[in-house]
Amino acid sequence: MRLGALEAGGTKMVMGIADENMNILRNTTCSTRLPVETMQDIIAFFAKEPIDALGIASFGPVNLDPASETYGSITNSPKLAWRNFPMLKTLSEALNVPIVIDTDVNAAALAEATMGAAKGLRDCIYFTVGTGIGAGLLS
């Protein structure tokens, strides 16, 4: 099984492919530009080496309500070109694989709780200060 990962950041996108044992097989980055240009780079990367599923950790805010018609869209971002951009829909249509999406800070909190500094703890909060400011909480 080949698992794709996309860390969609405010200044750069990090794409990777790993096997089922989480061994990184390939990774690359591209600058975060206008949505259409950036998505072309992401889709091209995953088209070269097909994947079985994709996980997205995105800058936000992101609509995380699966019942919403705009689920997986970036909402009121300070990056004006990305406002209301349907990231999940765009990648789903292009890649035709199962995809999950969450915010970058929620994904980072989950990673720390399962594989990192918070492994084994009952509660975890992850703060980030970068292009934006955010927090992910697991309790």
What is the DSSP-derived secondary structure letter of residue 70? Answer: T
pLDDT score for 134: 87
Q: Which residue has the tokens 């971002």?
A: 77
pLDDT score for 81: 96
2-103: CATH superfamily: ATPase, nucleotide binding domain (3.30.420.40)
DSSP string, 81-121: GGTT--HHHHHHHHH-S-EEEEEHHHHHHHHHHHHSTTTT-
Each residue's pLDDT tens digit in the chain (139 positions)?
999 999 999 999 999 999 999 999 999 999 999 999 999 999 999 999 899 999 999 998 999 999 999 999 999 998 999 999 999 999 999 999 999 999 999 999 999 999 899 999 999 999 988 777 889 998 8
Q: 0.85 exceeded by the pTM?
A: yes
pLDDT score for 130: 79
pLDDT score for 43: 98
pLDDT score for 132: 79
pLDDT score for 118: 94
